[in-house]
Chain A
Amino acid sequence: MSASQSAVRSRAEAVKVSRTFDWLILFTLFFVVLGGYHIHYMLTGGDWDFWTDWKDRRLWVTVAPIVSITFPAAVQACLWWRYRLPFGAVVCVLGLLLGEWINRYLNFWGWTYFPVNFCFPSNLVPGAILLDVVLLMSNSFVATAVVGGLTYGLIFYPGNWPIIAPLHVPVEYNGMMMTIADLQGYHYVRTGTPEYIRMVEKGTLRTFGKDVAPVSAFFSGFVSILIYFLWHFFGKWFASTKFVESV
């Protein structure tokens, strides 16, 4: 083999080049997935994620897991099935959280002056870990969809409970019963935004106790299973390497 036929000059150089590509690929994948996942999540579940007075026991618990299981399912479909890398869901969620935290601090607080304890993002990490662990242990996307998808929905509220609990304490204000989070919403007026409590204060689910969060989480887990299946196939399609003749 002549020198001109080889891309590298030694095994050591081949290893070095391979590692360099690993870092370039991981960096690019992380930030591109961050961008795509973030624009998807902020426009399908964003309002529930932006403000504590939207982080209730009913719709937040229902919506956030359903719309956030999408990209993890798609990226798992590529990273696990092609490379046996068991961190597709976690890498997506860490990317999303990085994008969100930078934004909440530099823009929500830094530009429009909402305190961070009013606009911090939801915690999706426990569900992502479970999704990756189920895939790693089972090596089955059906098991990951059914078991992982359900637990992804169920774990969301408990995973956020330590953060949100102090803001869900009931308080009486001007003769009305509400949560501390609702009170934050009244005090930090968002001029262009409808009052969330006006939109959702109906039916019996948005009450202070009993079955609201578990029922919502269970429903969310059910839909998350279906969404996982759908996005697994999306992921496989996006991971294809087909060429076309013309467009």
Chain B
Amino acid sequence: MAVTTESVKADTAEAPLLNVRNLILGSLLYIVFYGWVRWYEGVYGWSAGLDSFAPEFETYWMNFLYIEFVLEVSTAGILWGYIWKTRDRKVMSITPREELRRHMTHWTWLVMYAWAIYYGASYFTEQDGTWHQTIVRDTDFTPSHIIEFYLSYPIYIITGGACFLYAKTRLPTYQQGLHMQYLVATVGPFMILPNVGLNEWGHTFWFMEELFVAPLHYGFVFFGWAALGLLGVVNTEVGAISKLLKKDLA
């Protein structure tokens, strides 16, 4: 009886398999933050973002750019450093239940990656289309670029890097080498950021009309395909989770 009581106590004290609170708070972080960013664009895009030589442009947009650069480098360093520093050095000897719990946490990270990719590749990228087809650009650092290229892209790179690092440092499934499609799904979209170099160079050189389907933009397309690498990650995860659950579902 005493043993049973102890066992029940241990069960109730144990961390839940899926930390729903983290899942909701993490999602809210992206939604609320990007809601604020969109509000900022709406207010200061038209009032201070049309002429890059104006003093208010420096105040509201260039300062935004400098601050986000510092915050992004710091966040990446701290987050990735923390995940690496606290890695499990005996990852192959964890219990099946702990492994299942870590898969749940891994998927919490991947849900964050989904939010980050959505805002970066969909929301702010197409938004850039309507801004530049409407407003004639006079700088590489336009209000939509400061948000799209230099905020939303770094955020999904940081999130994707965190997902990959978490899987590599805490899950036995990923200890047999480097998962190729996981690399594709994180490094491919990452390459969209360096491709901005080509994009800006082209825009400056040709000062072209704002066709969104211009071949100059095809680099973004090519690296955007890499998001499909998630299919390989899903297949690996389904295999690993099935192994953990199969005997109990049979």
CA distance A34 to B130 in the complex (A): 19
Decide: A36 near B227, CB < 8 A? Known: A7-B97, A43-B213, A111-B42. Answer: yes
Task: Say which residue of A192, A235, A239 sits within 8 Å of B210 (CB atoms).
Answer: A192
Q: Is the interface of B mostly helix, strand, loop or mixed?
A: helix
Decide: A190 near B133, CB < 8 A? Known: A99-B126, A240-B232. Answer: yes
- Count residues of chain B with CB under 8 A from any CB of chain A: 80
Residue interface bits A94-105, CB-to-B below 8 A is 1, else 0: 000001101100
CB distance from B187 to the nearest CB of A (A): 9
CB distance from A73 to the nearest CB of B (A): 11
List residues of B (51-74) whose CB comes within 8 Å of A's CBs.
none
Instruction: Say yes or no: A247 contacts B107, CB within 8 Å.
Output: no
Q: Chain A residue with minimal CB distance to B212?
A: A46
Segment from A13-21, A124-132, A202-210 that makes contact with B: A13-21
Instruction: Say yes or no: A99 contacts B212, CB within 8 Å.
Output: no
List residues of A (24-46) whose CB comes within 8 Å of B's CBs.
24-25, 27-36, 38-40, 42-46
CA distance A20 to B107 in the complex (A): 10
Task: Say which residue of B41, B96, B133, B231 sits within 8 Å of A75 (CB atoms).
Answer: B231
CA distance A107 to B129 in the complex (A): 10
B184 within 8 A of A: yes
B126 surroundings in chain A (CB, below 8 A)? 38, 42, 46, 99-100, 103, 107
Instruction: Say yes or no: A193 contacts B177, CB within 8 Å.
Output: no
B183 surroundings in chain A (CB, below 8 A)? 244, 247
B48 within 8 A of A: no
B110 surroundings in chain A (CB, below 8 A)? 24, 28
Instruction: Say yes or no: A99 contacts B178, CB within 8 Å.
Output: no
CB distance from A4 to the nearest CB of B (A): 5
B1 within 8 A of A: no
Decide: A44 near B121, CB < 8 A? Known: A111-B42, A243-B180. Answer: no
Task: Say which residue of A5, A21, A103 sits within 8 Å of B96 (CB atoms).
Answer: A5
B228 surroundings in chain A (CB, below 8 A)? 33, 36, 71, 74-75, 234-235, 238
Instruction: Say yes or no: B130 contacts A36, CB within 8 Å.
Output: no
CA distance A34 to B227 in the complex (A): 9
Residue interface bits A108-129, CB-to-B below 8 A is 1, else 0: 1011101000010000000000
A174 within 8 A of B: no
Decide: A8 near B100, CB < 8 A? Known: A20-B18, A191-B136, A244-B180. Answer: yes
B82 within 8 A of A: no
B176 within 8 A of A: yes
Instruction: Say yes or no: A110 contacts B180, CB within 8 Å.
Output: no
Decide: A25 near B238, CB < 8 A? Known: A112-B134, A243-B176. Answer: yes
Residue interface bits B26-63, CB-to-A below 8 A is 1, else 0: 00000000000010011001000000000000000000
Question: Which B residues fall within an 8 A CB radius of A?
Answer: 11, 17-18, 38, 41-42, 45, 95-97, 99-100, 103-104, 107-108, 110-111, 113-115, 117-118, 120-123, 125-127, 129-137, 176-181, 183-185, 189, 192, 209-213, 217-218, 220-221, 224-232, 234-239, 241, 244-245, 247-249
* 4 nearest CB pairs, A to B: A36-B227, A35-B121, A14-B248, A243-B177
